[in-house]
Amino acid sequence: MSHDKVFIEGLEIEALIGIYDWERRIRQPLRFDVEMAFDNRKPAATDAIEDTLDYKAVSKRLIAFVTASDFGLVETLAERCAALILDEFGVRHVRLKLSKPGAVRGATAVGVIIERSRE
């Protein structure tokens, strides 16, 4: 079994997220780091884009979903994003880090890291 991963690092997306009244009125930047298990031997052999896990397509889908979302908790948003990647892109396993920069004074960012696999 291959242990290859395709990753997207530091994808910044503005979103409506949070539980406080002031948060409901503004869009906040969120940062996504995503690692997806994918066997890269086939695309390496064929050198064909259609055999790859297209990280540009994954990024565009996440941007569309997150921009349109409106959740209270980063936990909920992270869970939905992981499920979307597993369901729509044929990924077996995903590790997703969702950071909320500047949410806590003195910290660069806070957030969650989740790992999910397809059943």
Catalytic residue numbers read 100
How many whole angstroms separate alpha carbon 16 and alpha carbon 53? 28
Residue 99 contacts residue 113 (beta carbons within 8 Å)? no
On whether the CB atoms of residues 28 and 100 are closer than 8 A, the answer is yes
36: left (phi over 0), alpha (psi -120 to 50) or beta: beta
Select from 32, 40, 29, 31 the least CA-distant residue to 6.
40
